[in-house]
Amino acid sequence: MELGALVCRPKHPDCAACPLADHCRAYQDRATAEYPKRDSARKVPHRHLAISVIVKKDKLLVVQREMEGFLGGLWEFPAIPMDPAGAAPGAIEAGMAETTGLTIRVVRRLTRIRHAYTHFTLSADVYLCRYVAGRVRLRQNPSHRWVSLKGLTRLPMHKANHKFIDALTAAWDEGGRASGRCAW
């Protein structure tokens, strides 16, 4: 370990101080600059989502991720894959109907977030949506809750969702009345 860290360094090997120089093929061939061979960096996949913040009577719909797997058991807002160029409100409404069983109306785009995980990057457009009709029937997530804006702080949510909570709070205050109720 010390040999690799202190003597046989990738950019500046100290071959004169190396006790194994007589047995080193790279040293004998005068090719130490070619080692260690590095694999080319693999391209990290990118995912783009449309996240829907669905409001029903001043409550927000959140869904729980499967317990096993990536970010298992954490809560999040419902999301669907989306073309990076964007999606029409009708496509988001149809995707949410399929994913949640609800009829919704997109009120407006709230913000765009970016987040990096170790094995992929994520960008997502976040949409404020109004509940119109239906009962929650989830296709993939095991559970759901309708929570207040303040109630979000009591749920374990993954970091990407935290990135737009301030924008959501600002929009909520902007769309609210003195009673603190959301007007949209």
Place of tokens 């709230």: 110
Query: Could you tell me if 99 and 169 lie in one domain?
Result: yes
Give the pLDDT band of residue 76 (cuts 50, 70, 90).
Answer: very high
Q: Taking Cα atoms as reference points, which of 29, 112, 130 lies closest to residue 15?
A: 29
Domain total of the chain: 2
- Mean pLDDT score of the chain, rounded to an integer? 86
pLDDT exceeds 70 at position 177: no
**Beta carbons within 8 Å of 181's beta carbon, 6+ residues apart:** 58
Does any domain span residue 62?
Answer: yes
Same domain assignment for residues 103 and 28: no
Q: Are residues 50 and 26 in the same domain?
A: no
Is 39 among the domain residues?
no
Half-sphere exposure of 99 (CA within 13 A, CB side): 21
17-60 pLDDT, tens per residue? 888 888 888 888 888 877 777 777 788 899 999 999 999 999 99
Residues 57 and 104 placed together within one structural domain of the fold:
yes
**Together in a domain, 8 and 81:** no
In a domain, 144, yes or no: yes
d(CA 33, CA 15): 11
Q: What are phi and psi of 123, to 5 degrees?
A: -130, 145
Q: Which two tokens stand for residue 51?
A: 């996240």
Nearest to 112 by CA among 84, 148, 71: 84
Asked if residue 138 is part of any domain, the answer here is yes
Sign of the torsion angle spanned by Cα atoms 85, 144, 117, 171 = positive
Structural domain of 17:
2-34
Threshold 0.85, pTM exceeds: no
Structural domain contains residue 139:
yes
pLDDT at 172: 85
